[in-house]
Amino acid sequence: MASIKKRPILNADAHVLERARLVPEDLLRINAANKDAVNAMRATSASARHPKGGAGAQATPTGNTGGKSIELVLEGGKVKQVLPRTHYNSNVCFIDWFNFTVHEDTFQILSGAVTDSEIIFAVSMACESIFGFGITSKREKGANFYRASYVLGENYGLVCYGGQRNTVLVSLSGEGCAAARGGWERRMYDFLNSAQSPKITRIDLTHDDIEGALFRPESLIESYDQGSFNCGGRNPDIELRGNWRNPNGKGRSVYIGNRSNGKFFRGYEKGKQLGDADSPWMRLEVEFKSVDRVIPFDILKYPQEYFAAAYPLLRNFSADIQRIDTVRKTVQVSYERTKKWLKRQCGAALNLMLNVEGDAESVLALIKREGKLPKGVLPPSFRHVDSSLHHSPLEHMPLVLSFVNQGV
């Protein structure tokens, strides 16, 4: 009896797989659209350089930039500043929050999805190919002004859909960024460059001074007074939170700027926030939003260059930081916090049980919960996520979904 050959499994990211299906007419259309976009950008740049009429001339700041050069683009009928960057070699930061939107047509082109359910399946498939996890469940109500919302991974973020000009919002939390499969930033960059109407709406860049060697809450205030957060205009707002007069081990924070604007700084005692009253760990975060500026996709590849350009304070140090160091330290602090909590809350009860049962093994056998670990002790990882929603069979789904479900 002749053997039946099995269909080969395709191990490819969803957006890469779909590019192979483009026909010559698609390429002509894409090239024409790119040409129009380039011409529009050149026209906007020209109007910004020559202040004789035009939106660029009217919107170009002059008095609050300190004479620095800024790049302007036209987006949605509004002139916005392109987020500046500066050459920087050191790995001084990592991405700790990421939001983006794309038009739903992205997933119709990607997989032929038509109905809302098919689009959500296609979104889940794309997220899994990029991050290593997809959508795992639907929430009871919407979020971020979208009608419906879905859980990404093990509460690693949200997918929002319904309304909002037919866009899909994907929000990846700090824990989600840490849990994502290595290299997700480059895969995200490739996806956005192939998507319809892509836009980064928020990104947080973080530096952890785990030993507190470079920064303290007091030093951030001194830097502010010295103008190290002044980017050519007036000093931004500053807000102090926590017990500054009598520090109590719960942590202090320095907020600089306005959260509703496109750039906001947070500096706080991260170790103390996690529960270690003696920890010197300081965290510095710069939050960028697309409120009054455009966030280039290059920030996914060169976050340190945008981090260093955010404030004068951040241009003058080169202490490298790797996310794995932060994850390891978080687990360590969480474990120490768990031990202290157990002794404080349950020490007396454990001592009573030891006297009754006679030995520690008998006590552990009575109280331990198999398969359960305290939150924070288990490092976040895409490997711990249950099966994503798009692995469930859905009638009338395009053939490409079944291919990717086998290979991803």
pLDDT digits (tens, 9 = 90+) for 47-80: 443 333 333 333 334 334 444 567 777 777 777 7
Residue written as tokens 């942590």? Answer: 251
Residue 381 C-beta-side C-alpha neighbours within 13 Å: 9
Is the pLDDT confidence value at 350 over 80?
no
- Give the other-Cβ count within 10 Å of 105's Cβ: 15
Q: Where are the chain's structural domains?
A: 14-82, 323-377
Q: Give whole-number Cα distances, 192 to 112, 198, 239, 297, in Å.
A: 18, 6, 35, 8
Q: How far apart are CA 329 and CA 339, in angstroms?
A: 16
Q: How far apart are CA 114 and CA 107, in angstroms?
A: 9
Q: How far apart are CA 150 and CA 121, in angstroms?
A: 11
Is the pLDDT confidence value at 120 over 60?
yes
Q: Of 168, 167, 137, nearest to 159 (Cα)?
A: 168
Q: Residue 39 has what pLDDT?
A: 60
Q: How far apart are CA 44 and CA 62, in angstroms?
A: 17
Q: How far apart are CA 168 and CA 114, in angstroms?
A: 14
pLDDT digits (tens, 9 = 90+) for 194-242: 999 999 999 999 999 989 989 999 999 999 999 999 987 788 999 999 9
